[in-house]
Chains A and B, each alone.
Chain A
Amino acid sequence: MKIIKKAILLLSTLTCLVLTGATLGAASELYDVTQELNTKSYSKKAKVVAKIAETGDEQAADILRALMAGDLFARKSDKIIVLAEKQPDGGYALIAPGTGAALGTAKKSDLSKVKINNRVRNAIKAALGGLDLNHPDPAKRLAAADAVFKSLDDDMLPLLEARLKTEENDKVKSAFEQTIAALYLNADVDFAAKVSALHTLKESGGPEVKSFLSRYLAELPEEEAELRSQVAEILDAVERRLSNFALVENLFQGLSLGSVLLLAAIGLAITFGVMGVINMAHGEMVMIGAYTTYVIQEICRTSFPAGLEYSLIVAIPAAFVVAGFFGVLLEKSVIRFLYGRPLETLLATWGVSLILQQFVRTIFGPTNKEVSAPSWLSGAWEVTSGLSLTYNRIAIIIFALCVLFALMLVLKKTLFGLQMRAVTQNRQMARSMGVESATVDSLTFGLGSGIAGMAGVALSQIDNVSPNLGQAYIIDSFMVVVFGGVGNLWGTLVGAGSLGIVNKFLEPYSGAVLAKILVLVAIILFIQKRPRGLFALKGRSVEG
């Protein structure tokens, strides 16, 4: 009797459960699984994430994205996991995950965020990878393929293969092929299939393939000697390819360092090289340019959020004008009285540089300022898999060359350039020909300072925007100008480029500090050999 009673009870409970399940639909399963996120352990959370994805619910992806974005909260009163949406009044509207039922509102202090860490984030990405393989956006599909390549989830294999047939985007296609090949290696297929998979991997051959293959090789049992030797061979090929790329990368890094040096030094090549002013405040002009960029970006952020992406482009002329203005001011108030006494310009401009640093510190405070990178400058250009060059460095190289050639054009092709050359070569003669030498002087100085300001725009992308920014570049700039030959723009170009490349080629062998020391010693020795730099000016103006 008792047994029957129990059986009936059990049966009724079961029916009950099934019934409620049917009425609420699959959504409640998602709801229940989501509630399991209420744990402190990240490993558990990672498992729950996978479970959420496995429910196959349409809303699973949304929930995972909400978790990623930090929009899932635990209500403190009853420990229920809820989706919270911020309301205009500062409160939060609560929604039950999965069911979409509204659960009222709450204050921020009533909620505690469901925290995630890298491990959970990885799990979410892997899970979303599976869900995103059919996403219409190719970038999302690419990310999904990468996520599967990382998680090596063999359930995805049929999905990937099906998707590959209709895929049109080349990049995504090769990512799919690479992922499928990796999955094949782990799957139960014959030797030939594995070898062909290995060759597919060799084709793509980036660092992630190297990482995958070395892990694969380490885990491969000793018995499969044939496969092992195949894998080792492919791994070797991939490594060789990568080390060839390393050389190209190294060259690029050298050029990039050179372009930074060039940018910092071009302005100095004018104020110091052409005018003979030992301008110790040159670094501060660079700093002013960087701060101008910051101010422009802040204005964009508050007033024209749409223009934020292009604030850098606005900042280039702005930095030129602001730094140029400071340059003209400096020339009119100080340098003007010191022509013909180059060493004294050093002393005065040193004082000016102290004042400018403190000035910026007073206005903007001593801490670093954030200048964000626009999306078109972030990330890297993947030339081929395994070789990628960062966009901002490419942009700086191009920018530096543009500035240099624009400057050359101004010097060679404009009236101002003509007058400037005339004044620096023979002031008396120029004046007697009717050139307003004083005006030309201040404009020249302004030009040099303005270019330094433009350098500041570029440096804001790779370095601190702080009052000390200029100090870091002043010595290097002088080295470049002197090494290249004072008064010669080509010299500055070649000097900057060669110093950058030499430095970067030494660095892997000697370390960053020693490389720099060696470069400095090389400059000292070089100056002994050619006391007036790489491209020395000839003629009478040299003595003096």
Chain B
Amino acid sequence: MTSQNKITEKGPFFSLLSGLPGGGKAFMGILLTAACLTLAGNLLIPEGHALHVPTYLVSLMGKYLCYALLALSVDLIWGYCGILSLGHGAFFALGGYAMGMYLMRQIGDRGVYGNAELPDFMVFLNWQELPWYWYGMDNAFVAAIMVMLVPGLLAFIFGWFAFRSRVTGVYFSIITQAMTYALLLAFFRNDMGFGGNNGLTDFKDILGFDLRADGTRAALFAGSVIALAIGYLICAFVTQSKFGRVLVAIRDAESRARFTGYRVEYYKLAVFVISAVLAGIAGAFYVPQVGIINPSEFSPANSIEVVIWVAIGGRGTLWGAVLGAVLVNWGKSYFTGAFPDLWLYMLGGLFVFSTLLLPKGIVGTAPDVKRWLQEKMSAGADAGEPKKGEA
């Protein structure tokens, strides 16, 4: 750990930055530059100008960044510790619900029935008073805690049982799926007090700022950028520390790691909880930007898709996860508009071909392609066209 002694000199943040591998630094550079350009394009350049970035695009990018953070959290456990969770969407959705509850309470008496105490859907389903678990959610600070606490706690309890019982591999994947499916059904019930299938929607303000204002949107986008950046740093820190090495050891040979004397289950539990909290934060930024949270976010299909983003981007490389999430979702946005009848073929085809042709994902394959190109060049052959365009 070369960065160990630098901490005293530059403080932890810089030491972490300097400890990042080349790709990581580049990633942070790109992320922050792109964010600044987008924000400047949105706020400073007047509408109608060729370089103006419409708010529509800002919100869309903000959404992608939330997905990216979710992908990052999945990559942390799957790419670095070999835990394949097919239910990570549950943590994302729980974070989102916590945020949604806060936003719902912010509506106050501006709902259609003008009830300051109860959200509209409760008035209309004859709830007499606010259920206990809604208490305190009108406070931004409490809500922020809950955004992290609820997913973290669920992950802790679930992980505690699962890892201690040594539920591994595909069994673990399937029970995470059972978990998110059970939560889907539970949140779907109107009796639960979370708005049933309609979920929470029609938000007005966040922290007193109008959610529809361009400025608020930009701020939320900036918030997502920062969350992603911090999330990235945390993941980078985790994976590069000694702790991270152990995780990789567990991924590659769990029994050996255990026999070497590591309490595998604690390591797994810790990283699982960190990952769930990150997913929860991603959900919290996601909800105000898309304007709705409903039980479909818990659907197992969503969680499976997150894993696919990571796989396409490159499992076990942090910025590969981010790239995968942004790329696939951008593709989805574009194809659903441009080829509404054909887009599922394209998306499905993308999943199949990237698994077949890019087993390490885009980022993982890039070095191979580079090497291949260099070999060709050094061999004197003409390296006319770069292959597959994924570089």
Q: What residues make up the interface of A, taking CB atoms closer than 8 Å to B?
A: 278, 280, 334, 337-338, 341-344, 346-348, 350-355, 357-359, 362, 471, 475, 478-479, 482, 486, 513-514, 516-517, 520-521, 523-525, 527-529, 531-533, 543
Contact = CB atoms under 8 A, between A and B. Distances in A.
Given A347-B308, A475-B300, A478-B177, A341 B348 contact: no
26 contacts: A278-B170, A344-B359, A346-B304, A347-B355, A351-B351, A352-B352, A354-B347, A354-B348, A355-B352, A475-B178, A478-B174, A479-B174, A479-B178, A482-B171, A482-B174, A513-B185, A513-B189, A520-B179, A523-B175, A527-B165, A527-B167, A527-B174, A528-B165, A531-B165, A531-B166, A543-B255
Interface string B177-214: 11101100110110000000000000000000000000
Contacts of B174: 478-479, 482, 527
A103 to B, nearest CB: 54
A445 B255 CA distance: 31
Contacts of A475: 177-178, 181, 300
B356 A334 contact: yes
The majority secondary structure among interface residues of chain B is helix
Contacts of B352: 334, 348, 351-352, 355
Most buried by A among B84, B158, B174, B301: B174
A531 B355 contact: no
Interface residues of B, number: 44
B161 A517 contact: no
Contacts of B300: 475
Contact of B189 (A280, A514, A524, A543): A514
Interface in B146-174: 158, 161-162, 164-168, 170-171, 173-174
A345 to B, nearest CB: 8
Interface in B36-87: 84
B170 A358 contact: no
B319 to A, nearest CB: 19
A527 B175 contact: yes
A365 to B, nearest CB: 12
Contacts of A482: 170-171, 174-175
Nearest to A359: B345
Interface in B247-272: 255
Interface of B: 84, 158, 161-162, 164-168, 170-171, 173-175, 177-179, 181-182, 185-186, 188-189, 255, 300-301, 304-305, 307-308, 311, 341-342, 344-345, 347-352, 355-356, 359
Most buried by B among A337, A343, A344: A343
Nearest to B343: A358
Most buried by B among A362, A471, A513, A528: A528
A331 to B, nearest CB: 13
Contacts of B165: 527-529, 531
Contacts of A527: 162, 165, 167, 171, 174-175
A355 B175 contact: no
B153 to A, nearest CB: 16
For the complex of A and B, 4 pairs with smallest distance between CB atoms = A351-B351, A354-B348, A355-B348, A358-B344
Contacts of A362: 341
A217 B263 CA distance: 72
B347 A351 contact: yes
A543 B254 CA distance: 11
B179 A351 contact: no
A351 B355 contact: yes
Nearest to B351: A351
Given A351-B350, A355-B348, 9 more contacts: A344-B311, A348-B355, A350-B304, A353-B348, A478-B174, A482-B174, A486-B170, A513-B189, A516-B182
Contact of B171 (A334, A344, A520, A531): A531
A337 B168 contact: no
Contacts of B342: 358
Contact of B178 (A278, A347, A523, A543): A523
A290 B181 CA distance: 25
A442 to B, nearest CB: 16
